[in-house]
Structure 1
């Protein structure tokens, strides 16, 4: 994650320049009051209907039922950081098999015996290939094959303005990172999800830790954290329209950057919205210019990405490695 925080690829200097544009402070405050709001009731209804349709499309698939595939929300809508005009939702379809990673201080055979992992009987490639096939078939029957786009990781269902939200369905399995607690003399498991892209690359995520930490940050900042995230996302769009921003700044990165700003910067009660946005942006700019701070920055899930994750994110895994499951 820390590579995304390089000062050379962040847009904060441009953001601060934009806030000094010909708009008056009152005009900025009026915009921010609108931009900080979550999806409207009608937009939320469109999103929820799209999710219900996806669940209905997959409910009778016997392979998914037999393999105990579970569907969960994730992403901006789940984390309540989506902005108005964003009618989309991310869903993950999670297979119960497990990708197991071990910390350097773990003896793998001992950990497997203690924790009870057994071979699932299928390789990762077989699991993800079958999931893609089953999901594509059922979603295509429900929404039309022409409306399903297969990406590297997700199957995207095209949205219809005012009628159907765009939906990304991501096949995934469970992730267990095993590490040894020398103070407790026991193994512990860090749980997340693992996504195998069609090109063989793994993506490792921790959506529940992200979700819970975002809720806690919102509470600590008098409900201001997620409002500022939405404002920054709308500022990104505004900057692109004005020709100030030319690169790509992912929503996930914006959310992580705002999260990294200490709570006190959200809690100056004398600040109006304009002052608070500037205060957060200036603090982020200062942190991104600190070469010692950048390598320690984390995602919202709180993980400092250790070497095992960096390797797992990039390595090719088209070999027939077996999946595991807890016995």
Structure 2
């Protein structure tokens, strides 16, 4: 399919101010609901982690129980890589004072709970997700749908659909050599209703994406939006490989492209063509690609590697740009 520069520019546009406000309203509504559990917002209120993104966050504390939570947007809206087809926002509700850890067990400086003065606490019969579920239902009633990993709050003209994700803080201490308990890479651990726990690094994802966008003269996030839009066109055309690609997966795939590929040209169509060429020429390295957080591997097994390779091959045959514009 032939693409003009004008078409790619339309694909690359960030969210509108109206969409941004709906994102902010979504986190406001979740914040207001958590007050039902006795949580009070800090004096800073809702703030942006970084400018030019919808990376809204707020902190709350239950003064009676001592519980602390952080509520923040994650995913494509928080990273400013969303496209019009992505209508839902992801809101993480992270319990901070109870956390899971990843220690360095090898080498001459192994770590354990005693290193940082931590201790284990017993699990409660009612999970944090159950409490959040009850809280949201008290506020939104029939607009709440519970899923395995998240709790969806249906949107309206005022706010977007919000997939709320109750989680515990996950502290990665593998790069810590100071024994400072506050020196860690922060992640979250999600405990679904069924299946094993899931570890993600949404805040690191936002941070790394911002760094790459600055390093590429703000071409990185434009190209991510273009990649997602073209993937949707491929899906419409019946490409099975495109149907297997997630929004996060495509953002991560693009994140692994070297910075100089994004800055070689000032035309979006030429840059995207070089991205496709790079992915094709380096297909044998896809198994070593990282997620956009720079920590986890993008592919967990050979089947996932094959899925990405099939998509790259189909993308190469699908994408063509027009010389004249």
Same fold (TM over 0.5): yes
Distance 1:239 1:294, change over 3 A: closer
- Equivalent residue number for residue 84 of structure 1: 84
- The two structures, once aligned, show a CA RMSD in angstroms of 2.8
What are the equivalent positions in structure 2 for 1:203-214 lying under 5 Å apart? 203-214=198-209
List gaps (5 residues or longer) in structure 2. Answer: 40-60, 302-325
Bigger CA drift: 244-253 or 72-81? 244-253
| Alignment correspondent of 2:112 | 111
2:264 corresponds to 1:268? yes
TM-score relative to the length of structure 2? 0.75
Deviation of 1:85 after TM superposition, in Å, equals 4.6
> Which residue of 1 is the match for residue 55 of structure 2?
none
DSSP 3-state at the match of 2:290: coil
Distance 2:252 2:110 in 1: 36
Distance 1:116 1:79, change over 3 A: same
Which residue in the other structure is 2:140 paired with?
Answer: 143
Work out whether 1:35 is the aligned partner of 2:11: yes
* 8 Å contact from structure 1 (residues 265, 276) kept in 2: yes
More helix by share: 1
- Measured in 2, the distance between the counterparts of 1:177 and 1:95 equals 16
- What is the distance in 2 between the residues matched to 1:159 and 1:185? 45
Per-residue Cα deviation, 1:122-153 (whole angstroms, up to 9, x for no partner): 32xx37x43222211221122223x2121111
Evaluate the alpha carbon distance shift between residue 110 and residue 282 of structure 1 in structure 2; reply closer, same or farther with a 3 A threshold.
closer
1:106 and 1:178 in contact (8 A); partners too: no
> In the aligned structure 1, how far is the partner of 2:25 from the partner of 2:130?
24
Is this contact kept in 1: 2:104–2:110, CA < 8 A? no
Aligned to 1:223: 218
* CA positional deviation for 1:111: 2.8
- Normalised to the residue count of structure 1, the TM-score between the two structures is 0.74
Distance 2:111 2:257 in 1: 41
Counterparts of 1:110 and 1:43, CA distance in 2: 45
Question: Does the Cα contact within 8 Å between 2:69 and 2:95 map onto a contact in 1?
Answer: yes
- Show the counterpart of 1:131: 128
* Aligned-pair CA distance for 1:110: 6.3
CA distance in 2, matches of 1:136, 1:304: 29
1:268-327 CA-to-partner distances (Å, cap 9, x unmatched) read 23x52222111112212222x21xx23321112211559xx99xxxxxxxxxxxxxxxxx
**Alignment partner, residue 288 of structure 2:** 296
Equivalent of 1:174 in 169, 191, 202: 169
Mean Cα deviation higher: 101-110 or 239-248: 101-110
Distance 1:222 1:60, change over 3 A: same
SS of equivalent residue, structure 1 residue 59: helix
Q: Unpaired runs of 5+ in structure 1?
A: 1-20, 311-327
**1:302 alignment partner, SS class:** coil
Q: Does 1:48 align with 2:24?
A: yes
Q: 1:108 to 1:261 in 2, by over 3 A?
A: closer
CA 110–166 in structure 1, closer or farther in 2 if over 3 Å, else same: closer
Tell which deviates more after alignment, 149-158 or 237-246.
Answer: 237-246
The corresponding residue for 1:254 is 250
Question: In the aligned structure 2, how far is the partner of 1:202 from the partner of 1:107?
Answer: 30
**Offset at 1:117?**
0.5
Tell me by how many angstroms 1:244 deviates. 2.8
Which protein, 1 or 2, shows the higher relative CO under an 8 Å CA cutoff with sep ≥ 6?
1
- How many residue pairs get matched? 272
Q: Does 1:102 align with 2:103?
A: yes
User: Shift of the alpha carbon at 1:107?
Assistant: 9.5
Cα displacement (A) at 1:207: 1.7
**Distance in 1 (alpha carbons) for counterparts of 2:186 and 2:263:** 33
